[in-house]
């Protein structure tokens, strides 16, 4: 059997350049290489409700925004099934059975959930839906028999939990499900792109983002307000590259061609870093360079987005058709699951 790929994003805000290097670029590449049986891209609106159940409007409003972001970076609904999680009710059934396979202690031990709970200030008041989102994510993956899940690094513990659930299920009910693998981007900075605050990972919920849809002025403002190295005060001071957010972004986005265009006195990033470390290279120069690169990458995405925004009905129609298709596919696998468990009482096929 060939590969089945599934990925998704929570509609809790517009997508940012962390998503772009962490997962979107990989998805578009895989989509265009066509080396798969099926590829699904899911807007995880039900998962977004687990910590936004009291702010449904935020999730509603961002569904179209995330869909616009997908299409503007090149996700093609003719090649992939683009769907809305809440409209594929089979997923909740998978989730219901998997919940029995995970203990409370295990759910609480997931490092990603733990750190997100801390960020959100949840203790024993955590909604069960939030605590168990890795279980519902397992439902999303296995409902389509997906074996490949392109993700950022923060999601690896969630994929690990999915693999455990699959193993537990197969041990109990016989070989039925496939253990998925999380596929990370090659470059290490892209696995967890820091936010413009330089502290946390870039995250919609923290507002430390450069969005794919940001205007030229916003991008420039955000780049120029970044902290670099607090001890690099005068141009002549030696500077630190590690932990310097401008260099983290250059690691993620800069290609040798960018030097020819914007900074021809250097051949590559290693030379620029060496000069910064030695002293004699000012922050304005590196920020101007980063700004030029980001503007070049984001301009075509923003332009395409502005075009697509004119026909939102068309976008909703793509999501409607994709959700219908996803529901049909998940239904077939649900029958397999229930048969394996011995609860397909009316022998549905």
Per CB under 6 A, residues contacting ligand ATP are 9-10, 12, 18-19, 22-23, 151-152, 154-155, 192-193, 201-205
Q: Name the residue with tokens 């502290």.
A: 199
According to DSSP H, which parts of 42-193 are helical?
Answer: 45-49, 56-73, 90-98, 104-109, 111-120, 128-131, 133-142, 156-173, 188-191
Nearer to ligand ATP, 192 or 273 (CB): 192
Give me the least distance between CB of 204 and ligand ATP, in Å please. Answer: 4
Nearer to ligand ATP, 228 or 248 (CB): 248
Nearer to ligand ATP, 19 or 258 (CB): 19
CB-CB contact of 17 with 294 (8 Å): yes
Give me the least distance between CB of 37 and ligand ATP, in Å please. Answer: 21
Q: From 192, 174, 141, select the one nearest 7 (Cα to Cα).
A: 141
Give me the least distance between CB of 313 and ligand ATP, in Å please. Answer: 25
Give me the least distance between CB of 50 and ligand ATP, in Å please. Answer: 10
Nearer to ligand ATP, 59 or 330 (CB): 59
Helices 133-142 and 111-120, interaxial angle, to 10°? 130
DSSP state at residue 234: S
CB-CB contact of 348 with 90 (8 Å): no
Token digits of residue 132? 């168990």
Give me the least distance between CB of 52 and ligand ATP, in Å please. Answer: 8
**Phi, psi at residue 5, to the nearest 5°?**
-110, 135
Give me the least distance between CB of 200 and ligand ATP, in Å please. Answer: 9
Nearer to ligand ATP, 13 or 239 (CB): 13
Nearer to ligand ATP, 204 or 305 (CB): 204
Give me the least distance between CB of 14 and ligand ATP, in Å please. Answer: 10
User: In which element (H, E) is residue 183 found?
Assistant: strand 181-183
**Phi, psi at residue 164, to the nearest 5°?**
-65, -45
Q: From 47, 29, 50, 30, select the one nearest 38 (Cα to Cα).
A: 30
Rounded-to-integer distance, Cα 18 and Cα 26, Å: 12
Nearer to ligand ATP, 18 or 77 (CB): 18
Residue least distant from ligand ATP (Cβ):
22
């Amino acid at each position: 059997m060939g590969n089945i790929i599934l990925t998704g994003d929570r509609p809790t805000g517009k997508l940012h350049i962390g998503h772009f290097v962490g997962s979107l670029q990989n998805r578009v590449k895989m989509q265009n290489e066509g080396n798969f049986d099926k590829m699904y891209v899911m807007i995880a609106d039900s998962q977004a409700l687990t910590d936004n159940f009291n702010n449904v409007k935020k999730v509603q409003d961002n569904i179209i925004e995330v869909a616009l972001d997908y299409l503007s970076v090149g996700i093609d609904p003719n090649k992939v099934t683009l769907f809305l999680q809440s409209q594929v009710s089979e997923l909740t059934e998978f989730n219901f059975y998997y919940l029995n396979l995970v203990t409370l202690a295990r759910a609480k031990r997931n490092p990603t959930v733990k750190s997100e709970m801390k960020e959100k200030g949840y203790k024993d008041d955590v909604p069960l839906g939030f605590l168990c989102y890795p279980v519902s994510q397992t439902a999303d993956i296995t409902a389509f028999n997906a074996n490949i899940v392109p993700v950022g690094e923060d999601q690896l513990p969630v994929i690990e939990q999915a693999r455990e659930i699959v193993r537990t299920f197969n041990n109990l009910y016989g070989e039925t499900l496939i253990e998925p693998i999380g596929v990370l981007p090659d470059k290490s900075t892209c696995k967890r792109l820091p936010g413009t605050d330089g502290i946390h990972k870039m995250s919609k919920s923290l507002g430390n983002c450069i969005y794919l849809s940001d205007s030229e002025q916003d991008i420039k403002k955000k780049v120029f307000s970044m902290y670099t190295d607090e001890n690099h005060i005068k141009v002549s001071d030696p500077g630190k590259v590690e932990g310097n957010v401008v260099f983290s972004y250059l690691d993620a986005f800069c290609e040798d061609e960018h030097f020819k265009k914007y900074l021809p006195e250097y051949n590559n990033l290693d030379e620029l870093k060496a000069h910064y470390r030695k002293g004699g290279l000012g922050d304005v120069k590196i920020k101007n360079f980063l700004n030029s690169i980001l503007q070049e990458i984001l301009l075509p995405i923003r332009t395409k987005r502005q075009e697509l925004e004119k026909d939102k009905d068309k976008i909703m129609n793509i999501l409607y058709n994709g959700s219908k298709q996803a529901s049909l596919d998940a239904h077939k696998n649900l029958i397999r699951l229930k048969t394996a468990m011995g609860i397909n009482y009316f022998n549905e096929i």
